[in-house]
Amino acid sequence: MEFLKCACVETLYTELPFWDRFRAAKADGFAAVEFWSWEDKDLAAVRAAAGAAGISIAGFNGDGPFSLIDPAQKADYLDYLRRSVAAAHTLGARAVTIHSNALGEGGVVLNAYPELSHTVKLCAMFDTLKDCARIAEESGVSMNLEALNVTTDHMGNFLATTRMAAELAALVGSPKLKILYDVYHMQLNEGSLCDNIRRYAPQIGHVHVADAPGRHEPGTGEIHYPAVYHALWEAGYRGLIGYELFPKTTTAEAVKAIMAE
């Protein structure tokens, strides 16, 4: 049982210049890298750095300043998503991550939309997701819908459970629209990690790993990662495991823990 590993270079290797992180990740044994935003980066330089390192780009966030749950933002959301897909083509990235709410600096939810009912938010998200899936199918760039924790990092985010994310993806019914299962976020929100992995495995398109509490490397918190990995493998998941975590001490120590798994 061995998954290919992906390094989030927004949180790992931060002691290095951004362009050097790709080569460092490759040297440490990662198969791919991912990052958060694309608008603040020179895409040609990113592609050149990844190419020189011989490492692939798994993906990045695709929805920027717009929210799936706001029906008034649908046109702007989809326009931005198309620009993100174009960026993915430029970089050779396989997927983009999408969210229910727009996120600001540090992952802060920009607008929780308290004036909108749960029904409006859910229906708006489903309506726009159907268009997201069409864009994904036409472009070949996958979309991974991510639920986030609402206890610690992303208070006010609407999409907070594996069930809602997976059921929405299943209802849309596109092979190019799946969910990003973030073990850290879901431990904080709902627990029952292995049960939910087994129940919703067909809808999982990407996985993020960090321990809880703290969002550090596995082994620093309460999550029993051997059981989580076993559940993923037994459920048939063969995709990347993305390490979106903040080293407890240094990147070198965090990588030791990651590669020892």
130-150 confidence digits (pLDDT tens): 999 999 999 999 999 999 999
Q: Considering the domain boundaries, does residue 20 fall inside one? A: no
- Closest residue by Cα to residue 153 from 217, 105, 221: 105
Residue 39, CB half-sphere, CA atoms under 13 Å: how many? 9
Helices (H) and strands (E) in the chain, counts: 9, 8
What DSSP character marks residue 202?
A: G
The whole-number pLDDT of residue 231 equals 98
Q: Which domain holds residue 217?
A: 5-11+33-250
Enumerate long-range contacts of 115-120, CB under 8 Å, 24 or more apart: 116/69, 116/70, 120/69, 120/71
pLDDT in tens, 37-57: 999 999 999 999 999 999 999
Q: Considering the domain boundaries, does residue 258 fall inside one? A: no
Q: Considering the domain boundaries, does residue 21 fall inside one? A: no
Percent of the chain scoring above 90 in pLDDT: 98
pLDDT in tens, 180-219: 999 999 999 999 999 999 999 999 999 999 999 999 999 9
Q: Considering the domain boundaries, does residue 256 fall inside one? A: no
In whole angstroms, what is the distance from residue 194 CA to residue 173 CA?
24
261 pLDDT above the threshold of 90: no
Residue-wise burial string across 106-117, b where 16 or more C-beta atoms lie within 10 A, e elsewhere: eeebebbbeebe
Percent of the chain scoring above 70 in pLDDT: 100
Task: Tell me the two tokens of residue 158.
Answer: 């609407």
DSSP per residue over 41-80, as a string? Answer: S-HHHHHHHHHHHT-EEEEEE--TT--TT-GGGHHHHHHH
| Contact status, residue 202 vs residue 179, Cβ threshold 8 Å | no
Q: Considering the domain boundaries, does residue 41 fall inside one? A: yes
Tell me the pLDDT of the chain averaged across its residues.
Answer: 97
Enumerate long-range contacts of 103-106, CB under 8 Å, 24 or more apart: 103/61, 103/154
pTM for the whole thing? Answer: 0.97
The whole-number pLDDT of residue 49 equals 97
Strand partners of residue 144 = 97, 178
Q: Considering the domain boundaries, does residue 18 fall inside one? A: no
65 pLDDT above the threshold of 70: yes
Distances (CA, A) of 151 to 65, 177, 203: 22, 26, 24
CATH code (residue 208):
3.20.20.150
Average pLDDT over residues 217-237: 98
In whole angstroms, what is the distance from residue 47 CA to residue 17 CA?
15
Q: Considering the domain boundaries, does residue 24 fall inside one? A: no
pLDDT in tens, 148-183: 999 999 999 999 999 999 999 999 999 999 999 999
Number of structural domains in the chain: 1
Distances (CA, A) of 97 to 100, 142, 219: 11, 9, 26
The whole-number pLDDT of residue 1 equals 67
Q: Considering the domain boundaries, does residue 255 fall inside one? A: no
Residue 230, CB half-sphere, CA atoms under 13 Å: how many? 4
